[in-house]
Amino acid sequence: MERSLCRTVLIADDDEGVRTYLTQFLAQNRYEPIVAADGREAYEMALAQHPDLILLDVQMPGLDGIEVCRRLKRRSGERYTPIVLVTSLVDLGSRVAGIAAGADDFFSKPFEATELLARIRSLLTLKSAIDELEHAEAVITSLELCVEARDPYTGGHCERLSHYAVDLGKRVGLTERELRTVRLGGLLHDLGKIAVPDNILLKPGPLTDDEWLVIRRHPGRGKDLCDPLKSFGEIALIIRHHHEKWNGSGYPDGLKGEGIPINARIVGIVDAFDALRTRRSYKPSFPLEETMRILRDETEKGLWDPDLMNHFTTMTSALPGATDGI
C-alpha cells in the first residue's frame, strides 16, 4: 500500500468547481483531501489539522494565497509543510511574491493531472524525509535530557543555556538559521557525557588526571553521536568546540580566536555563566555580580572572546535576581 493513503492535502480555493475537481482527483489517488473556501479558513484549518501538503489558490477573498503562505511559513510548526501556489496567473510578479512568501512550488490552471500528481508526490517525499529528521532530533534531545537527569545539580541547565545562547546570538546579529543552531547546540552541548561513568560525572571531589581525560573526551563523543545526521553539521561543531578557549588553551582541539566557530564561542560563554550561577556538589552558586567579575577576569586572561563578553555583560545587566544564585 502506498504511503499516500494517510497523507492529507489541504485544498484552498474560492472556486467550488476547482475544489470539487481536486477533491475527487486526490481521493482517487489515495490522498485524504480537506477543503477551505477562502484564505482565512485555509489558515485556520492548517493550524488546526496540520496537513501534509497545502494547495493554495493565489486569488481568494479575505487573505490571498500568498499572504496565507507567508503567515504559515513564519510559524515553526508549519515551516516545513510544503505549500503549492495554484493560480491562473503566470506573471513574474506573482511568482516572485510567492517565492518571497516561502512557497515550495507553483502550478497553473488549467491542471495537467499527471504533472500535478508528480509534484505532490515529490514534495511529500521531501516532507517525509524532514519528518524523519525531526524525529531523530527529538531522540537526540531526549538523550541529552537523560544525561542532565543523572546529576541532580544540573536540572534545567540545558534549557537555560539554550535560552541564554539565543539571546546572546540575537545581540550579535545571528540569522534565524544560526539562532536555531545555537538553540539546539545549547540543548545538546553535553550530549557526549552519556559516555562518562557516574562515578566520574557525579564525583563530589577533585578528579584525578585519568578522570579528567575521560571528561575531556565528551565533546568528541557528542559530535560522533550527531555525525550521522547531516542536518546536525553545525550543531555538532558546537558540541565538539564549546570547551575551546579564545587563547587556545581549551579542548579537544586547542582552537584559538576566530578559529573557534562563533556559535561554539557563544555556547561556551553561557555554559560557563550557568555553571557559576548553579550550585554543584563541589561548590555553591555565585551571585550575578560575582559571576560576571569572574568571567571578566577570565576574559582578561584570554579565555573568552572579548567582543562577545562585552555583549554578554550588557545582556546580563538586565537579568532579574542580580544577587540570587540558582
User: Which domains, ranges and CATH numbers included, belong to the chain?
Assistant: 3-130 (3.40.50.2300), 150-316 (1.10.3210.10)
Question: Higher model confidence: residue 86 or residue 271?
Answer: 271
Residues 6+ apart with CB under 8 A from 316: 273, 288, 292
Q: Please count the CA atoms within 13 angstroms of the CA of 35 that sit on its side-chain side.
A: 16
**Alpha carbon distance 5, 284 (integer Å):** 58
Degrees to nearest 5, angle at CA 211 with 207 and 215: 100
Residue tagged 540543548 (cell numbers): 187
Determine what percent of the chain is predicted with pLDDT higher than 90.
53
Section 305-315 average pLDDT:
97
What is residue 3's predicted lDDT score, i.e. its pLDDT?
A: 41
Q: Please count the CA atoms within 13 angstroms of the CA of 283 that sit on its side-chain side.
A: 13
Confidence grade of residue 326 (pLDDT, cut at 50, 70, 90):
very low
Q: Can 193 be counted among the known catalytic residues?
A: yes
pTM, full prediction: 0.63
Section 199-222 average pLDDT:
90
Residue 102's CB is within 10 A of a number of other CB atoms, namely 16
Peptide bond preceding 252 in cis form (omega within 30 of 0): yes
> How far are the Cα atoms of 159, 183, 266, 274 from residue 163, in angstroms, in the given order?
6, 7, 11, 11
**Alpha carbon distance 210, 59 (integer Å):** 68
Per-residue pLDDT reduced to its tens digit, 161-206 = 999 999 999 999 999 889 989 998 998 899 888 888 888 888 888 8
Per-residue pLDDT reduced to its tens digit, 103-149 = 888 888 887 888 888 888 888 887 776 676 666 667 676 776 676 66
> How far are the Cα atoms of 11, 24, 196, 274 from residue 218, in angstroms, in the given order?
49, 55, 7, 19
Alpha helix ranges (H) inside 172-287: 176-188, 198-201, 209-216, 218-226, 233-241, 262-277
Q: Which residue(s) pair with 34 in the sheet?
A: 10
24 has pLDDT over 90 = yes
Q: Which residues of 269-295 are buried (b: 16+ CB within 10 A; e: fewer)?
A: bbbbbbbbbbeeeeeebbbbeebbeeb
**Alpha carbon distance 52, 65 (integer Å):** 17
- Phi, psi at 86, each rounded to 5°: -115, 130
Q: Which amino acid is at 140?
A: I
Lowest mean pLDDT among 64-78, 152-166, 226-240, 300-314: 152-166
Pairing of strands 32-36, 83-87: unpaired
Alpha helix ranges (H) inside 50-112: 65-73, 92-101
**Alpha carbon distance 307, 45 (integer Å):** 46
Question: Higher model confidence: residue 104 or residue 220?
Answer: 220
**Alpha carbon distance 191, 229 (integer Å):** 14
4 has pLDDT over 50 = no
What is residue 1's predicted lDDT score, i.e. its pLDDT?
A: 34
What is residue 213's predicted lDDT score, i.e. its pLDDT?
A: 93
Per-residue pLDDT reduced to its tens digit, 31-83 = 999 999 999 999 999 999 999 999 999 989 889 999 999 999 988 777 788 99
Residue 159's CB is within 10 A of a number of other CB atoms, namely 13
What is residue 154's predicted lDDT score, i.e. its pLDDT?
A: 63
Q: Which three cell numbers stand for residue 58?
A: 493565489
Of residues 73, 109, 170, 193, which has the active-site annotation? 193
